[in-house]
Structure 1
Amino acid sequence: MTAPFDVLTPDLAMEAVREAFALDLEGIWIPYPSYVNRVYGLRTTEGRDFVAKFYRPGRWTTEAIREEHSFLAELAEAEIPVASPLADSEGDTLPALVLETGDGRETRYPFALFPRRGGRGFDAETDEDWLRLGRLAGRVHAVGARRPAEHRATFRPGLLTEYLRELEREGLPHPECRAEFFEAAEEARSILDPLLANARLLRIHGDFHRGNILDRPGEGLLLMDFDDMAMGPAVQDLWLLLPGPSDECAREFALILEGYEEFRPFDPRESALIEPLRFLRMIHYLAWQARQRRDSGFLRHFPDWGSRAFWIKETEDLKDQLRRVDSGR
């Protein structure tokens, strides 16, 4: 079976961008580290820098990607620093490249072009830094709460089970770990699902950690990479900012909430979701890796993924996280 990106070469990607956006590009491309999508840095002969993102075929529907673009446009209109996709020569932010794969089938690669926005990585060190992070999240959620997203992933009861079934269909994890792995996951699910059933959902970033935030002097904090935009509880974006488990970060979380509530209220009951959501993210990440493990680029970087030793460690990490989930009940 041909992996989704095996036929998409950088040269083909550059040509697609050149044609769609009528740009005179230099013949140099810079690959960005992304395993879900293919992302390239490009420069025009005039010295303007762009980032082209080719979305993984089949992961999102066209409607889901357009909801991401619409959310970005709303945030930009609200003067929240984000990188919004540019419209092509026909006014569309989501053109597509169609290529024939080795089995004779055609594969559609939607792509978008963004202005390259530089900045410094942001490490929160002072109280004001944590307040700034909370304010950024509050501003984003104030816009996100205006309307729902109908085609994005939703944090709902049963989501953890879907990821587990996906792993099970692939014959994962390793047989020696399988019973312990699924036993821990089922216990976590029994705690997570009732909490999600009562949570208020809104459009969230979904991957709101500090690696996706740049500090741009004179502009403020720039929020990047809305790939995981979803309908979820507000706390999903907030706990990802914490430097460790919730019981070790009470002060940082309080400062985040102080900044957040300058723009919208926070339901304190959502705090009970933090460690169950961390467990969910661990399972989600394993399912995400499983989908990509046949890609040559993934295997080069993670040659030991899926081994017996790998699954033993992952199972032990899940059991450790389950203990945190249990202790927070």
Structure 2
Amino acid sequence: MNLIVRPLTPSAFHRLTPDLVLGLVEKVLDIRCTNLCRPLASYINRVYELEGENGEGLVVKFYRPGRWSRAALEDEHEFLLELASREIPVVAPLVLQGNGSLGEHEGMYFTVFPKCGGRSLDEYNEEQWLEIGRLLGRTHAVGAGRIPEGRITMTPDKSTRQQADYLLAGKFLPADLARQFAELTKTLIAEISPLFASTEMIRIHGDCHFSNLIYRPGESFYLIDFDDMALGPPVQDFWMLLPGYREDTFAEIDLFLEGYETFRDFDRRSLRLIEPLRAMRFIHYMAWCAYQVAEEGLSRVAPDFGTREYWQLELRDLAEQLERIKAAIEPQGNGL
């Protein structure tokens, strides 16, 4: 029962062709490209690998219309360019003709990046945990410098509430399970919102898992894909890298924080947000799948999205996570 909550409106985004892609990039960079136009995997945007006549590898990203405002995209680019100017290893967008980094064609925004190869690691050794800590400490030192104007605030009463409301308004759930979902998310938000009350909120990557952290041997780790950049708690940018629950990963947390605090203090009290953030991630993922269904008619990452079995499993997992949060023992003082 995948439901379309609004009709698809054909746009330039849905009519991209190699000729159009190459023509736009050649125009905004004032270069000539070879005929290479290779689609790359992306669940939301349209991304292509190109090549300049000089052999330079390029990646062009066309942002899905309606997902981000221009201000939100400019927030992302400003953050990336600021990080790159501090020699922090990120892949920043190229400056286009006209001195901006954001192109536009028939209401569709796009940007061009230099190609940056690397590979993701699904586990890290001790030195790599220290290195990742240093990388994110430097990133957050820059992130704390200003407040983004167009980005979501990652708190239960804002981002999670919006995502839950989207799922309910779109009627993605069967009616009886929708009532259960509404009650469960209401309870969750009320339970965890006070934990965020005094938490520092800065510009963060927002989606820092192992696939968005690429390793380049002989260089360093690079942070990539800032699509979900947000104003949020610093702890959001490392809990998804941990190989297990907090109580099972004290060694990794210690190493990470040792590297992180080389460049920036970390409030250890915010470690109590890890399990609430995990619950928020559950809802974020449901809304992400729902957005794909609303736009494309299906979710490529969750083919069974919308079935009764799908929602029963998601609701069970969310209820179990809520119980885990309620049962959690509060950390003492400023320790782990």
TM-score for both structures, normalised by structure 1? 0.91
Q: Which amino acid aligns with 1:243?
A: P
CA contact (8 A) 2:48 2:61 kept: yes
Q: Tell me if structure 2 keeps the 8 A contact 1:192–1:277.
A: no
Structure 2 partner of 1:140: 139
CA deviation string 1:24-52 (max 9, x = no partner): 22223221221221111111233211110
Shift of 1:299: 4.5
1:13, CA displacement in angstroms? 2.4
Per-residue deviation, 1:221: 0.9
Q: Residue by residue, what CA displacement relative to the aligned partner does 1:50-78 show, whole Å, maximum 9, x if unpaired? A: 11011111222212211111111111111
Whether the 8 Å contact between 1:124 and 1:130 is mirrored in structure 2 is no
Distance 1:300 1:291, change over 3 A: closer
Could you say what the CA RMSD is over the residues aligned between the two structures, in angstroms? Answer: 1.9
Partner of 1:26: 34
Is the Cα contact below 8 Å between 1:279 and 1:318 reproduced in 2? yes
Distance 1:227 1:299 in 2: 19
Deviation of the 1:308 alpha carbon: 1.4
2:254 matched residue in structure 1: 254
Identity of aligned residues (%): 43
> What's the counterpart of residue 105 of structure 1?
none
Match of 1:8 in 2: 16
Residue pairs, 1:185-224, within 5 angstroms: 185-224=185-224
Matching of residues 236-315 of structure 1 within 5 Å: 236-296=236-296, 298-299=298-299, 302-315=302-315
For residue 301 of structure 1, report the CA deviation from its aligned partner: 5.6
Equivalent position SS for 1:20:
helix
Runs of 4+ in 1 over 6 A off after TM superposition: none
Q: Find the residue that maps to 2:175 and give its secondary structure.
A: coil
In structure 2, relative to structure 1, the CA distance for the partners of 1:13 and 1:192 (3 Å cut) is farther
Matching of residue 72 in structure 1 with residue 71 in structure 2: no
CA contact (8 A) 2:47 2:61 kept: yes
Distance 2:42 2:298 in 1: 9
Contact 1:23 1:44 in 2 (8 A): yes
> Unmatched 5+ residue regions in structure 1?
99-107
Q: Number of matched residues?
A: 320
1:42 alignment partner, SS class: strand
Q: Give me the TM-score of the superposition, normalised by structure 2.
A: 0.89
Unmatched runs of 5 consecutive residues or more in structure 2:
1-6, 330-336
Q: Which residue in 2 is equivalent to 1:169?
A: 169
1:293 aligned counterpart, secondary structure: helix
- Report the equivalent of 1:92: 100
Q: Does 1:50 align with 2:50?
A: no
